[in-house]
Structures are given as structure tokens and as C-alpha cells.
Structure 1
Amino acid sequence: MTTPKTVLAQAIFDLVIEKAAAMPRQCISGDGICCLRDSNGNACFLGQIMSDDEVRPNGRLINGSADGLLQRGELPERYRDHVDLIELLQGVHDDLGNWTLGGSADKVEMRSEFLSIASAYGFNTRTLDQHFPAGA
């Protein structure tokens, strides 16, 4: 059954797919740690779906996992029911095996992980198939 919660979950999945396909490289800090946004304008998957105001409340850049932001009251309300999904998606970003030596997304590896998530949640894979086609 389609509910507002499942519609938003699909929308989060689709948006992350679209953003992941366009990312020039993994978003990590100088010390090799994933960050919501870096100084070059890159953003991890969670950072991609949050607005500038949400990532920089009061002009201060926040950082952390979806669960960490939730615990600190910094995760936007609309995502609070989707922390587990966002953490799974963020895991795709954080896995070094999903990035080529040149830094761009390894579309075969990412597709495989995104398909697993889509299967677990019963998501439509139209956006995944468009941006991470099979055999690409």
C-alpha cells in the first residue's frame, strides 16, 4: 500500500540516485572522513538532500551521520522517519569500493548496492535504471 511515508522514502531514494550519478567524486574531508559538505562544494548523499540552511544552521556547518544528526536534533523533520534508509544510502557513499581510482562513482558497484536497497524497500528502480544502467 502506498502511504505518504513510502512516497517520501521512494523520493529520497530517487533523489540520492540522481545526485550520486552527477557527483564528481566522493565527499571526504582532508583527513579521509566523510563530510556533509566540503570546501569544494561537494556533498555526501545526506548533504545532497539537505538544503544549505539545514547543513549550515546559524552559519555553522554541521556534520555527522543521519542518526547522529537525529540524536542532536539537527536532522530535518521530514527525514526523521527515514533514518535507517538514509544510513543505508550513506553507506553506499562511504564505501571506498564504490569509487574509481580517479574518484568518480563506480556505476557497476553502486548499482549493485542501490539494487539491494531497492529490493529491501520495494522501491521502483526507474530512476536507478536511468542513471545507473545495467551493464554500464
Structure 2
Amino acid sequence: MRHIYRCPLRWADMDAYGHVNNVVFLRYLEEARIDFLFRPEKDFKQGSVVARHEIDYKRQLVHRHHPVDIELWISEIRAASFTITYEVKDADVLYVRASTVVVPFDFEAQRPRRITPEEREFLEEYRDGTDGEDAEREAVAA
């Protein structure tokens, strides 16, 4: 299963050329990640921190008044981290493919912690072994 976040574009997001600034995409990913992880029914209440981001810019996103979709899924789950993979896109255009390594964190003890069984069960619902690259290669080959 995948999670979809409808991300609003803001006037302040664009650069001098009218495109969404590349740095703003990090904030978009953060908004999508928070929307995914901190829902009332499923919450990483103990906290988490970002260990790593990777962003592959595919096409410029021009500022407009309607939202862009951010589709995300879990591509890897380890004992004390998990990877979220994202696609920032419209129905027919991919702007960004990205991933974030998230580490569950105990803020009281000030150290990383293991993923709880409840958190793992939630993450497994959104686990998808494909990273989008296979689909892109198949489309190019066709």
C-alpha cells in the first residue's frame, strides 16, 4: 500500500525563475512524512529523526495554485531504521524521486531505539519492494 499526500504549493516556494526551489522539496518530503507517521490511529509517539536524505530531481516543478501529489511507501525496514521512498508527481509527470532513512529515537534517553512491534506492523502495511526504478526502466524499454 502507498500513502498519498496532496502538498499545497506556496508562493514563497518558488525561486526567481518561477520554479519550486530545490531546497523546498525537503520541506515537501517532511510534510508528507509527518502526514504519514503522525496520524491519530498510527503514531510514532516515541519520536524519530532523519538520518539521511537522497533526492533525484527529474523535472522542474513550476509554481501553480493546485497541489502536487507526494506518493510514499516503505522500501526497507531494519531493526532500528526504515527507509521511506517518495515520488513527487502529477498523474503524468514525475518531478522528484527521493528517499529518507528514519531512525526511531528515544528523546528522553537521547539515543536511537529499535522499532517496536506495533511500529513494524504499521510500516509493513506500506512496504513495497519496488523503488520505481524498475517501472521507469520498463517504460523506457517499451
Report the TM-score when normalising by structure 1.
Answer: 0.28
Give the alignment's TM-score, normalised by structure 2: 0.28
Which is richer in helix? 1
